[in-house]
Amino acid sequence: MSAITIIGQGPAALLAASFIQEVQQDCVIVADSEGSLPLWSGSFDFHAPSDDISNPWSLLDRQPLMLPAETWAFLWESLVGFERAAGIPVAADIPSHNWWTITCTGKSKSVFVVPQWQYVQKTFLPVWFIGFQGLADSMADFQCHTYQQQTGVDAGFHVLPNPTPWTPSWGPIRWASYMDTDEGLSWLLSEIQKVAPEIPKTWPILLPQVIGRRRAEHNLQALTTALGQMVFEYPLVTPSLGGMRIRDRWVWYLKKQGVPFLTGRAISVEKGWVTLADGRQWHSDHVIVATGGILGGGLEVMVDGRLRDPLRDTVVGRMPPGRAIDLYSWGQPADYGTPEMTACGSQCGGWDPNQDGNGGAMILATVWQSLCRTGIFSNLGSCNSERSVTHVGK
Amino acid sequence: MWENDDACIKCSICISVCPVYGQDLEFPGPKALGPDWFRAYQANPLTVPSEHVDDCTFCQLCEASCPVHVPIAHLIAQHKSLKKKTWRINLRDRILAHPHWVARYPRLANAPNFLVRPLGFGTQSRWPRPQRRVAPLSSSPQADTRQIVGLFVDCYSRGFDQDVLSAAQALLELWGFSVRLLPHASHCCGAAAYAAGQPEEGQRIAHSTYDAMTPGLTDLSQIVTLNATCDSTLREEWPLYWNLSLPVPVLSFSEFALDKAPAWFWDAMHKGMTARQEQGETTSWIHTTCRSRVSRGDGILEQLADKAGLAAIQPLNLACCGAGGSYAFKEEHEKTAHALGAAALEQVTETHDRIIVDSGTCALHLTQITGALAKHPAYWLYQRFLSLTQRSGDIASQEK
Ligand SMILES: Cc1cc2nc3c(=O)[nH]c(=O)nc-3n(C[C@H](O)[C@H](O)[C@H](O)COP(=O)(O)OP(=O)(O)OC[C@H]3O[C@@H](n4cnc5c(N)ncnc54)[C@H](O)[C@@H]3O)c2cc1C
Ligand code: SF4
Ligand code: SF4
């Protein structure tokens, strides 16, 4: 079997697999359900959304794991590189300042790595919101009002009526499937054209993030060309098309690179041996536990280093070296004598991405720490450097 | 009814993976048809079934995606069973739920359109052609493990894919195994009835197949399957839903080959290719069927193709090809079935390419859509072995 087994297929697992592919090592992914990407709006968050951060590097010492700036730069660059290789349209430059995106409630949220289908701006500018009558999360009137109040900048809105095939059961995914059809795109274009005379030509038009699942960029480009003004999306709440597009493309990219995606629930992980509930078993030089923890009870790492399966309430393994550990220090080389097993992603201690809005930082930092333990980055100095793992805790 | 049947947390992840939901704007999707319906039905057993419930292919991708393990597709099958149908659709669905009847008389698949159309059978999807039994083609075994493996003969292989069956048998014998074909006469694992919303009938069919198989199992080391749906039905659904437990482990041909084919065989697959043969190598497109993905995962067929030395291996970006067992043979599903499969055309542009796929009906469907020959890995492995070891005969040429 492969040298490295990754348990989980959420963003942490996909990032770990991408790094492993990059250094031409074999890995296998095994998971018993989807990861949480379809719930994401699509941005890799680095800090609480309300902060106005002009310099992203000032964020870094707020994270539970402090890495040197050059390591962060490397991780950021790698993330952007993987996303672009997978066909996710993100800007090539590492961000030197934050951007503002506008949420479906009209609030501005600072972001860094965001796909280009989503509207971002450096300073607050006038925009035109468009909502769809039959899409619950697009509340253009409220959105417009909040945006104007919070930024003091001018804005306008329109709410488009429903297309003929619409039924009350339509959620964001259904809307996006409709936009993937030629009929959906021409309906949208003709409805916007009806109200276009009222929209100032220099203002970007912002649509809810349902403008196609496969054809989003194509559709936005077609609208931009036909209307002669910029058209983007604003993110909605979950389930989120932004995260789904990223998931679909990233998984497909890894499959094309030859990464197997096995289906199964790991019920035992001991000394490199992974055993699945269906009886399959194999040995790997290293096991990366990327089992999440928000939805559905993934494997949990307990304070004494045991791995617990909450569904069965059984202990399925133990993190080496089998002594009590500080969960905040997850994955740190200093704490691990053997490179058999590490953990990454939202099940690592010390991180609370839902409260702190740092899911992206968490994934980058913990995957990095995990992979350093496999030895595959041995040629990269910062893996070995003591200061790379200064633990600041909370 | 089942573990986690009421556990839905409404995350909608299942909707994000459902191939039919992405294609058919009227299909309510797995959450509405599975857990939402189940809750409504528990509260009020008179809840009217959705008119679209039968449009689900039973691919089970929704179920595999669910973070809290709701048995979504199985709830939908239960939902299907409550739907009232006209007599002609009932008759058609009853026939399709018993593919082993058709496999017994495969010429039934040649019935003219004017006879089948009034019953609601589709006429756009290609129907399979009957194949007469092809004798196993290998010479004497080159190894002797003294183990007996049971080769599960699914109804499709029996009636319409005899070349695949023969290739699999030949390879297993070549690798030193004695092969016992199971069951002796035409039977079905019950998957077709389950998918069509006839779980009780599926269970009855499965029990009868189990009874037909069990006398011959005691000395087997393994049961090897040639169809991903039968594979997961025997291994997972029989014990979980129908209380049937085979005393012998069940494994797909592909996984068995990866694990058990001897080293000399793989060596032979990499040696002796003439320059002409190398030049003639085509792209090997891989379609891991939905049921195989749900049960075991993606990447196994790629590993097999790679180990066999096949060139230019590429996965197909298809969640479900739309064949869905007998789904594509129903007139009301033909449009969706063909739209789902058409995604393969973005990748397969050369009709001389090969498609490797672990289900006979998916192979038929993909061949029709792309024009490239889609076949089970056993077929391609044996073809390659024959061509590299200069053995006479081409299994395709023996098809009738
Ligand atoms: C609704 C929501 C929205 C969010 N949006 C954002 C966002 O926009 N941006 C951001 O930066 N952060 C966001 N986050 C925060 C955070 O980044 C996520 O929690 C993060 O996605 C977790 O990813 P993960 O890879 O660690 O785990 P998950 O995505 O939860 O993946 C866990 C995987 O492990 C598998 N698994 C678990 N146990 C087993 C087992 N025993 N055997 C086999 N497989 C197993 C599961 O099947 C799953 O595939 C969001 C969080 C939530 C809840
Ligand atoms: S994936 Fe599972 S929990 Fe989520 S909506 Fe579907 S059935 Fe409910
Ligand atoms: S079984 Fe397949 S077609 Fe049916 S609802 Fe689930 S994902 Fe959709």
What strand order describes the sheet that includes A127-132?
Answer: A155-160, A127-132, A205-208, A231-234
Give me the residue label for tokens 């996984």. B255
Name the residue with the closest Cα to ligand 1, atom 2. A39
What is the number of other CB atoms lying within 10 angstroms of the CB of residue B213?
A: 21
Backbone phi, psi, residue A273, to 5°? -90, 125
pLDDT bucket at A347, cuts 50 / 70 / 90: confident
Q: Is the shortest distance between the CB of A353 and ligand 1 below 6 Å?
A: yes
**pLDDT at res. A71:** 83
Q: Is the shortest distance between the CB of B75 and ligand 3 below 6 Å?
A: no
Pair B187, B319: CB distance under 8 Å = no
Residue of B nearest to A213 (CA): B22
**pLDDT at res. A304:** 64
What strand order describes the sheet that includes A266-270?
Answer: A281-283, A273-276, A266-270, A314-318, A306-309, A300-301
pLDDT bucket at A151, cuts 50 / 70 / 90: very high
Distance CA(A56)–CA(A44), nearest Å, equals 13
Task: Indicate yes or no: CB of B315 within 8 angstroms of CB of A264.
Answer: no
Ligand 2 centroid from CA B7, angstroms: 8
pLDDT surpassing 50 at residue A343 = yes
What kind and span of H or E run contains A178?
A: helix A172-179
| Residue B344: Cβ-neighbour burial (10 angstroms; 0-12, 13-18, 19+) | buried
pLDDT bucket at A222, cuts 50 / 70 / 90: very high
pLDDT bucket at A336, cuts 50 / 70 / 90: very low
**pLDDT at res. B46:** 93
Domain ranges (residues) in chain A: 2-85+245-380, 119-234
**By the CB < 8 Å criterion, does B66 face chain A?**
yes
**pLDDT at res. A394:** 26
DSSP state of B35: I
Q: What are the 10-residue block averages of pLDDT along chain B, 400 residues in total? A: 87 95 94 96 95 96 94 97 90 85 70 72 75 57 76 91 94 94 88 93 95 89 96 96 94 97 93 71 93 97 94 92 88 92 92 94 94 96 88 44
B chain contacts of residue A33, beta-carbon cutoff 8 Å: 13, 64-67, 69
pLDDT per residue as tens digits for the range A93-121: 777 777 889 999 999 888 888 999 999 99
**By the CB < 8 Å criterion, does B298 face chain A?**
yes
Among the CATH numbers 1.10.10, 1.10.150, 3.40.50, 1.10.287, which is that of A119-234?
Answer: 3.40.50
pLDDT surpassing 90 at residue A242 = yes
Q: How much of chain A, in percent, has pLDDT values that exceed 70?
A: 80
Mean pLDDT of A328-347: 59
| Residue B294 CA: distances (Å) to CA of A5, A263, A268 | 19, 6, 20
Name the residue with the closest Cα to ligand 2, atom 4. B11
* Cβ-based neighbours of A283, under 8 Å, separated by 6 or more: A1, A272, A273, A274
Q: How many helices (H) and strands (E) does chain A have?
A: 10, 18
For the entire predicted model, the pTM comes to: 0.92
Q: Which of A239, A261, A295 sits opposite B297 (nearest CB)?
A: A261
Higher pLDDT, A380 or A232: A232
Interface test with B, best of A33, A252, A261, A309 (most B CBs within 10 A): A33
Distance CA(B185)–CA(B180), nearest Å, equals 12
Pair A156, A198: CB distance under 8 Å = yes
Q: Which two tokens stand for residue A162?
A: 């429903």
pLDDT per residue as tens digits for the range A35-69: 999 999 888 888 765 555 556 566 666 666 667 77
Residue A281 β-bridge partners: A275
The CATH class given to the A2-85+245-380 domain equals alpha beta
- Reading phi first (left if > 0) and then psi (alpha if -120 to 50, else beta), residue B309 is in left
Domains annotated for chain B, with CATH where assigned, are 13-81 (no CATH), 147-260 (3.40.50.1860), 263-389 (3.40.50)
B chain contacts of residue A165, beta-carbon cutoff 8 Å: 25-26
